[in-house]
A and B are shown apart, each in its own frame.
Chain A
């Protein structure tokens, strides 16, 4: 519930401290119900749950004792809507509005869990979040405050120690010390490339200029299967803002931009609200925290082009131009936005900064693997049980992520591959499941960390189709400026498309590899030079699948519609007629009734006996609806 307070400028670290103290006191002793309003839970109806809980609190006259908070993503999207109660530490998955009163009466007032609503897995009942296996292996730095702070209330963030790192930096560290602290932490960029953040800051800091510098937050999140950055902005926008203000101080910038995808209206709204509140408190804008330093953040909305996530294309887009990448011989840190020295970092990179300052570079460097420090946020999705948003220490194995956190495969197909790195990444097969997940190991197996999409695929996914999917994406998103990328992605797509349709000749795999090599070597920007990765990695690990398409004209996974045929096993058909009802083109014929094998003499006399159904393969559009609805698996896909 809103604290009715006017926001006045905080003029010193002491004033910030005392505000945090007052906020803590005010929250102390009050119970809190945190309802996840992240996109996943919202789609499952958490908005209604939130309203119902507020209503229940109102009806019981508990507005002063109980805070009902709509928070950002708690992570375990597969079990949404999620509700967390503090300080009693109770975790409820799949909550419905009807549960609201019981939750308030029993668990909030009575501090007792409602057994019926608790999460049960593997014979165990989990009372609190930390007992849920999904959270057990995680280490939450960036997502630490998700579910604890209301993203629309800066006071929540301040109460939890927010902006203290900024205060410390402004009053205690000279800029160069901030840069060395970040360097010492080993933080590497989370936007894909993994460039050492401290080194980037240092080269920008070192430039002397009268004209001003910029810092930019890359919130374009173009990877077509990832939502980490968006979840961070929706759940805890202030950690990104605080990180940017610290970075601006370190490199000497007075103006910054957040470049955010247009498709993220909720994140945009949350950010704008957060910026406004930070300005009200004097944590942003003129004379920050009374230090005499100024820094302002503008918001630039992206136009929905994947290539605009690339640094030079992104700055072109902010300048109001077409987002075409420029040549990379001049570094953005020397000449970036409007030709000025610019530091561009990803959302998650910025979000790590306040914690590094607060807890020290040594602490941060103690987490993770040799060359990759700290944690990484992934959106873990696909054919596993526990899909959602996770944060794990670098160096954890793929198996731990998939089996311990993800809970193993959902459905009855076995594991086939995990895709990381988005369109610039690749597919990793089962025999690499024990590999470490960090920047360098992923590159070794022909994939990439990327921004953090992790899609688990089972035997029902076709690897050629996946490669075709990414190349289709890349050929559409190629800006067209350089020939190898523009034409190369098109050519690779066309070959893959022919393979999927069973129209490719035996020599085309060689041609595909040849083009892939050429595109990799000669493209202007990383979009092109990494575009062959989805092809090369699937060719490396799943070559037999390509060959089955080309040589045998078969799609082993049963995905490529040109290479599959549907038929009905006449023995198994129970003459229910559901397939014919669903068929959009009416190409299934038969008579509904009792299956002949089970019919009695009487049934025959009364005309109740059906006739097994048959598919007219000439007319069939291979939509697969019959396959989906058949109750006896009589429909076969070959």
Chain B
């Protein structure tokens, strides 16, 4: 983050904290709002939350890493989430993930491509199991997929 970005993040975070009346019990909600704004939790924001709510930074980090809703890494331009719910799993979600990792050149455990273009995540049951296996690209749902469809889906992003 640049200096200006950091300042902005702090300002934004202050606004969020204020909107909840700076209460300890709203820690998760505050982090959720920050996450929503940046798609991840920037470090300066976390430090600010710790300071303002009077919760130690390790405790803030413990909460931030416990819940799957939070990410500590910035994400790429396009977000692809593959449903790994049970219905999608038995209909071949692992094959979609393999294909995506291969096509995007992602190593095991790597979420975002080096060029910051794509982030690949897993989500459990997006609620349209009748279309399994399913993935979403920037919120748009694609269903009934086979690994062969992946390259077309990626191409649409360019």
- The interface of chain A, by Cβ under 8 A from chain B, is 38-40, 42-44, 77-78, 80, 223-227, 230-231, 262-264, 300-305, 317-323, 379, 381-383, 387-388, 419, 422, 453, 455, 457, 461, 466, 469, 473, 479, 582, 584-585, 621, 623-625, 628-629
Contact with A along B15-32 (1 / 0, CB 8 A): 000000000111111001
Q: Residue B89 at the A interface, CB < 8 A?
A: yes
CA distance A43 to B135 in the complex (A): 11
A301-B29, A320-B25 known; A381+B132 contact, CB < 8 A: yes
Task: Tell me whether B158 is interfacial, beta carbon within 8 Å.
Answer: no
Known: A263-B123, A304-B69, A388-B130. A317 touches B86 (CB 8 A): no
Q: Given that A224-B85, A317-B28, A584-B103 are known contacts, is A303 also in contact with B125, CB under 8 Å in the complex?
A: no
Q: How many residues of B contact A (CB 8 A)?
A: 43
* B109 interfacial by beta-carbon distance below 8 Å: no
Question: Chain B CB within 10 Å — which of A42, A223, A323, A584 has the most?
Answer: A584
**A453 near B86 (CB under 8 angstroms)?**
yes
Contact A625 B90 (CB under 8 A): no
Tell me the bound Cα distance from A263 to B131 in angstroms. 18
Total A-B residue contacts, Cβ distance less than 8 Å: 142
Residues on A with C-beta less than 8 A from B27 are 320-321
Which residues of B are interface residues toward A (Cβ below 8 A)? 24-29, 32, 62-63, 66-70, 84-91, 95, 98-99, 102-103, 123-132, 134, 141, 143, 146-148
Considering only CB atoms, which chain B residue lies closest to A470 in the complex? B86
Q: Which residues of B contact A381 (CB under 8 A)?
A: 87, 129-130, 132
Contacts of A388 in B (CB 8 A): 130
Whether B146 contacts A305 by the Cβ 8 Å rule is no
In the assembled complex, which residues on chain A have CB atoms less than 8 Å from the CB atom of B70? 303
Q: Which A-B residue pairs are the 6 nearest by beta carbons?
A: A303-B67, A225-B86, A304-B68, A387-B130, A381-B129, A224-B124
Q: Could you name 9 residue pairs across A and B whose Cβ atoms are closer than 8 Å?
A: A40-B128, A40-B129, A225-B89, A263-B123, A303-B66, A320-B26, A322-B66, A455-B87, A628-B146
Contact A43 B141 (CB under 8 A): yes
The answer to whether B126 touches A625 (Cβ under 8 A) is: no
Shortest CB–CB separation between residue B144 and chain A, in angstroms?
A: 10
Known pairs A303-B69, A623-B147. 19 more at Cβ < 8 A? A38-B127, A39-B128, A43-B141, A80-B130, A224-B85, A224-B124, A263-B123, A263-B126, A300-B29, A304-B68, A322-B62, A322-B66, A388-B130, A466-B90, A473-B124, A584-B102, A584-B147, A624-B147, A628-B148
CA distance A38 to B85 in the complex (A): 18
Contact of B32 with A262 in the complex, beta carbons under 8 Å: yes
Specify which of B91, B141, B148 is in contact with A582 (CB 8 Å cutoff).
Answer: B148
Cβ contact within 8 Å between B147 and A625: yes
* Known contacts A40-B130, A226-B125; A625 and B148 CB within 8 A of each other: yes
CB distance from A189 to the nearest CB of B (A): 21
A457, B143: Cβ atoms closer than 8 Å = no
How far apart sit A461 and B94, CA to CA, in the bound complex (Å)? 13
A469 to B86 CA separation, bound complex (whole angstroms): 8
